Amino acid sequence: MEGAEIRKLVTLEDDHWWYRERRHLLRRRVRDLAPGRALDIGAAGGGNTRVLQSLGWDVLALEFSAEGAQVASERGLQVIRADAQQLPVADASLDLVTALDVLEHLPDHERAAAEIHRVLRPGGTLVAAVPVDQRLWSEHDVAVGHERRYEPAQFLSLLQGAGLEIVEARSWMVLLRPVVALRRKSSQGSDLEEMNPLVNAGLTTIVRLERFLPVSRAPGVSVFVTARRPRR
């Protein structure tokens, strides 16, 4: 993601419905884990990094772009610039890795998945999310630097191929999928934009309904996965 898009993201992420709900989903997946050492890959402005900090994790933000690393540093986060396809982290040294909407940006996602396996200790956890369904491909994907959208089974196979065990996989943005599909047909660039407060509130209400409805196996716009490095 280019510097301008990252600056735009940072401006929006505190209040934007999509980022707020994604942080909620991350919090739910890690709140029962004993805090330890964590790496937030593709941290950008550090919204997810701060979620982990608030839960007691010793977390390092990793960002490829100079702009993203600068923003994270300005926010007082511990950050390094590095490539997710070659993590500058010791083997089996981390209790948690997060990679939310990261792997779809990488040319060699197999290597990145293998690197995640390498740096996790046995029993360590990965929380990852990626966009799904190539039929939803649009100028938004081009603008934000996506290499691909996944099929859910394809993403699970990628992680399993790296030696990780799937703990949980669920669709996200199921209820809003028809809206996204319609919008993407006429998309001319990134969807990152300031929203009317009433629209933002309405979309927040809809996406939060998925916390309570049994829709996690229906087709969505993204898939959220928790995986683990086996203990042996």
Fold of 3-228: Rossmann fold (3.40.50)
pLDDT at 72: 85
Residue 156 pLDDT greater than 90, yes or no: yes
Q: Contacts by 58-65 with C-beta closer than 8 Å and gap 24+?
A: 62/87, 65/1, 65/2, 65/3, 65/6
Q: pLDDT value at position 94? A: 98
Q: Please state the domain extents for the chain.
A: 3-228
Instruction: Tell me the whole-structure pTM to 2 decimals.
Output: 0.92
- Spatial CB neighbours of 52, under 8 Å, sequence gap ≥ 6: 26, 30, 38, 40, 59, 96, 98
Q: What is the pLDDT of residues 67-102, one digit of tens each?
A: 888 888 888 999 999 999 999 999 999 999 999 999
Tokens of 173: 């943005």
Q: What is the mean pLDDT of residues 196-221?
A: 95
